[in-house]
Amino acid sequence: MARRKKIYEGKAKTLYEGPEPGTIVQYFKDDATAFNAEKKDVIEGKGVLNNLLSEYFMLGLGQVGVPTHFIKRLNMREQLVRSCEIVPLEVIVRNYAAGTMSKRLGIEEGTQLPRPIVEYCYKDDSLGDPLVTEEHIAAFGWASQQDMEDILSLALRVNDFLSGIMFGVGIKLVDFKIEIGRVYDGDFQRLVVADEISPDSCRLWDMETNQKLDKDVFRRDLGNLTDAYTEVARRLGVMPKNQTPVTKPTLIN
Ligand code: TYD
């Protein structure tokens, strides 16, 4: 069989040319990075969980009418997506203060915000993804005014959907990041939710205990990351029926 053409290797995923023109295969790796890749590790089973969880969220978004790049999951680590031009912004939605917002504004982590707040960071690892305003985005032509209206509306719809799903399983959606892609249907451009939605790019806290079930477990050395992601998958019923959890078995003496 001919070797697939690698298009791009990122921190958590590798992208390959898909079987049809305009398609891409996203391969979910087990690599975890934080602090702009200063901290790195391989977390066994993370890629499988993120592939399943991202499929679950993207399919759900599609069902409530939010367009995404997702086509179908191919296997435990790969999914087929529509190829799109990624808008060079990390779109962050926050419901509770945490992370950089808490640091920047001196708001205690976990404080509920008066309403969801949307922030934009310019996607550039060498600059550490700096926070930018709509003025920068317009002036540098990263997205048009119409795009920005559509991006805001997509971000808030994703927030309502994800918050509701998480609320249903006893999890607080503190914040999350999405990426937006442009796809072309003939002469028309549409914006879609792209990349992935997984505990790598969300902050998820247990509603009762505030236990962290997201990548902060890795960033802040709070325990086993696979256990945290498995718990999210278990609550959402995303674990495949015939598969035992990817955590290591506990030995009973
Ligand atoms: P933020 O608090 O700004 O940064 P950090 O995670 O470094 O403290 O992040 C807000 C949310 O967005 C958080 O859930 C992580 C996610 N995010 C990413 O997944 N990738 C990114 O490049 C950025 C800037 C944020």
Whether ligand 1 lies within 6 angstroms of the CB of 62 is answered as no
- pLDDT at res. 76: 97
Q: Which of 56, 50, 76, 78 is nearest to 68 (CA)?
A: 56
d(CA 94, CA 205): 13
Whether ligand 1 lies within 6 angstroms of the CB of 196 is answered as no
Query: Is the pLDDT confidence value at 1 over 80?
Result: no
- pLDDT at res. 36: 86
- pLDDT at res. 3: 74
Whether ligand 1 lies within 6 angstroms of the CB of 92 is answered as yes
Q: Would you state the structure tokens that stand for residue 204, as one six-digit string?
A: 């998820």
Query: Is the pLDDT confidence value at 167 over 80?
Result: yes
Write out pLDDT tens, residues 74-133: 999 999 999 999 999 999 999 999 999 999 999 999 999 999 999 999 999 999 999 999
In 10 A of CB 210, how many CB atoms?
Answer: 11
- pLDDT at res. 239: 81
Distance 28 CA to ligand 1 centre (A): 19
Q: Which atom of ligand 1 is nearest to the CA of 176?
A: 14
- For the chain, list the domains and their CATH numbers: 6-84+224-236 (3.30.200.20), 85-206 (3.30.470.20)
Query: Is the pLDDT confidence value at 68 over 60?
Result: yes
Whether ligand 1 lies within 6 angstroms of the CB of 90 is answered as yes
Distance 243 CA to ligand 1 centre (A): 31
Query: Which residues neighbour 248 within 8 Å (Cβ) at sequence distance 6 or greater?
Result: none
Distance 82 CA to ligand 1 centre (A): 24
Distance 176 CA to ligand 1 centre (A): 7
Per the prediction, the chain carries an average pLDDT of: 94
Query: Is the pLDDT confidence value at 51 over 60?
Result: yes
Query: How many DSSP H helices and E strands does the chain contain?
Result: 6, 14
Q: What is the value of pTM for the model shown? A: 0.93
Q: For atom 6 of ligand 1, which residue has the closest CA?
A: 99
Distance 201 CA to ligand 1 centre (A): 7
Q: Which atom of ligand 1 is nearest to the CA of 102?
A: 2
Dihedral sign (CA 77, 80, 81, 86): positive
Whether ligand 1 lies within 6 angstroms of the CB of 121 is answered as yes
Longest dimension (CA), the chain: 66
Whether ligand 1 lies within 6 angstroms of the CB of 177 is answered as yes
CB distance 77 to 93 below 8 Å? no
Name the residue of 33, 86, 92 whose CB sits within 8 Å of the most ligand 1 atoms, as the mutation to test its pocket: 92
Residue by residue, DSSP assigns 14-65 as: EEEE-SSTTEEEEEEPSEEEETTTTEEEE-TTHHHHHHHHHHHHHHHHHHTT
